[in-house]
Structure 1
Amino acid sequence: MPEVIFAGPEGRLEGRYHPSDDPQAPCALILSPHPKAGGHMDHRIPVAMYESYKRRGFSVLRFNFRGIGRSMGVYDNGQGELQDAAYALDWLQSFNQNAPFSWVSGYSFGAWIGMQLLMRRPEVAGFISMSLPVNTYDFAFLAPCPASGLVTYGSEDPIVPADDVDRVVDKIRVQKGHVIQTHRVEGADHFYSNHLEEALDVIEDYLDENLDPRYSPPREMKYLEG
């Protein structure tokens, strides 16, 4: 898990990068929760996402948004953080120029940033959005959504009510041939307390179904919550 420092729009950004052994492996970018709510790249959910793609043979990067850890800058209400994500994807792709496609996965605030990023980057072939904050941010920018993906959310989330997620996702238009799937994790809160393994099972199943079999490791190798 090499520590990396790369250039961002406001100075250096701090990350953790796993390069694939395959020079033609796809890429995955992992986006963290809200910087003002203690979000950082070593949060257990971004780490779990990172490890999942790593096991699948992807080159994968997670990083701290500006102002967190050793990343320079200050919080910029999402606009600057979207720029950070774009710079991170650029850096990742600069070392993986033969990658056939990229995926973006984010949790909460990071899921919102990820959905904006995929609108700007046609090489993003799929996404995973956990606890998408539909009651905090406007998702009208998805007009239409250019990639298929999965949205997971908890039935007992007091921060983003499950019915709000259903309502917003149902209204999102997608480009022809693409589908946004949703999965309500029964009993889970916003943080998947005591339900993270169940949520990850759903994500692993989705990735197995939507990726080439060569990117699907044996099920016994899956992440287990400790």
Structure 2
Amino acid sequence: MAHPKSEKTTAPGPAGAIELLVDTPATPPLGLALVAHPHPLFGGANTNKVTHTVARAHAEAGLVTLRPNFRGVGGSAGQHDHGVGETEDLLTLIDWALRTWELPPVLYLGGFSFGAYVATRVARILLGEAASAVEANPNLDPERWRAALPSLTLRHVTLVGLPHGLALGSGTVYTTPELPTTLPVLMIHGEEDTVAPLARALDWARPAARPIAVVPGADHFFHGKLHVVKTLVKNALAVYPPV
């Protein structure tokens, strides 16, 4: 099987250039995927191994897959914005990608750790809901983005190591927005995650009765378990293909 091709490029963003890796499938693309990396202030970047693993699974499923560097990471302009500016950046990238490539308007979102948190915010906006109940940001107006992306279908979301409540690694308290039960979501979490504890991921999943794929013995970064993560993602994408 021919492997996806990966290349570095830049795209225009609200705070300046956004550096990203693009994983292009070996066959004609069936849609678009965005995969977001962990916390920028703690070494997170688009080369993170978990992010790379999730992105490659999407590319192998036939999707043009973008792995941006968040603000202030690598060649991306701007400064860390606690998820607000990062949400706007990902929305901007979706619009840019659909204009850059001739792609079916089918979108998959994925994220690891802080990137998973941002992915939930982007999903809320694309579904026509506010990213946060307490946030007033005209650039994150759901009506604005639904008007800009009128025919886009959000097909599936992959959340790996999702933080909710107090994240012990950064001391950040995440108010992670809920997602509608009609949206297919794959949650993957390490049994021994001490950064974003499993108990708090269960707190997020409980209201919607969302299952979580718990990887036995895995830490936050899934050391020695990345093959399990990739298998779980590929299996989920086979259930929710682009066409």
8 Å CA contact retained: 1:24, 1:100: no
- Letter aligned with residue 42 of structure 2: A
Q: Which residue of 2 aligns with 1:131?
A: 161
Q: Which stretch shows the higher mean deviation, 55-64 or 143-152?
A: 143-152
Give a deviation string over 1:14-60, Cα, whole Å, max 9, x none: 01123456666211011011000100001111111221122121111
Alignment map for 1:35-54 (pairs within 5 Å):
35-54=40-59
Q: Which residue of 2 aligns with 1:106?
A: 111
Distance in structure 1 (CA, Å) of the matches to 2:154 and 2:86: 18
Distance in structure 1 (CA, Å) of the matches to 2:39 and 2:202: 22
- Distance 1:20-1:154 versus aligned 2 partners, 3 A rule: closer
Structure 1 gaps of 5+ residues are: 174-179, 215-226
Distance in structure 2 (CA, Å) of the matches to 1:143 and 1:207: 18
Q: Which stretch shows the higher mean deviation, 203-212 or 129-138?
A: 203-212
Q: Which residue of 2 aligns with 1:198?
A: 228
Q: Which residue of 2 aligns with 1:120?
A: 125
> How many residues were matched structurally?
206
- The answer to whether the aligner puts 1:12 opposite 2:49 as a matched pair is no
Give, in angstroms, the shift of residue 119 of structure 1.
1.0
Give, in angstroms, the shift of residue 210 of structure 1.
2.3
Give, in angstroms, the shift of residue 153 of structure 1.
0.4
Q: Which residue of 2 aligns with 1:164?
A: 200
8 Å CA contact retained: 1:27, 1:96: no
8 Å CA contact retained: 1:107, 1:132: yes
- Letter aligned with residue 200 of structure 1: K
Task: Work out the percentage of aligned pairs sharing the same amino acid.
Answer: 25
Q: What secondary structure, in the 3-state scheme, does the structure 2 residue paired with 1:2 have?
A: strand
Q: TM-score by structure 1 length?
A: 0.83
- Distance 1:143-1:197 versus aligned 2 partners, 3 A rule: closer
Alignment map for 1:67-106 (pairs within 5 Å):
67-106=72-111
Distance in structure 1 (CA, Å) of the matches to 2:181 and 2:120: 8
Give, in angstroms, the shift of residue 160 of structure 1.
1.9
- Letter aligned with residue 184 of structure 1: V
Give a deviation string over 1:53-96, Cα, whole Å, max 9, x none: 22121111111011000100111111111111111222222224
8 Å CA contact retained: 1:23, 1:98: no
Q: Which residue of 2 aligns with 1:188?
A: 218
Give, in angstroms, the shift of residue 163 of structure 1.
2.0
8 Å CA contact retained: 1:23, 1:99: no
Distance in structure 2 (CA, Å) of the matches to 1:143 and 1:49: 20
- Distance 1:149-1:11 versus aligned 2 partners, 3 A rule: same
- The answer to whether the aligner puts 1:29 opposite 2:34 as a matched pair is yes
- Letter aligned with residue 105 of structure 1: G
- Letter aligned with residue 210 of structure 1: Y
- The answer to whether the aligner puts 1:62 opposite 2:62 as a matched pair is no
8 Å CA contact retained: 2:29, 2:62: no
Q: Which stretch shows the higher mean deviation, 79-88 or 29-38?
A: 79-88
Structure 2 gaps of 5+ residues are: 1-5, 128-152, 166-172
Q: TM-score by structure 2 length?
A: 0.78
Q: What secondary structure, in the 3-state scheme, does the structure 2 residue paired with 1:88 have?
A: helix
- Letter aligned with residue 55 of structure 1: E
Q: Which stretch shows the higher mean deviation, 202-211 or 188-197?
A: 202-211
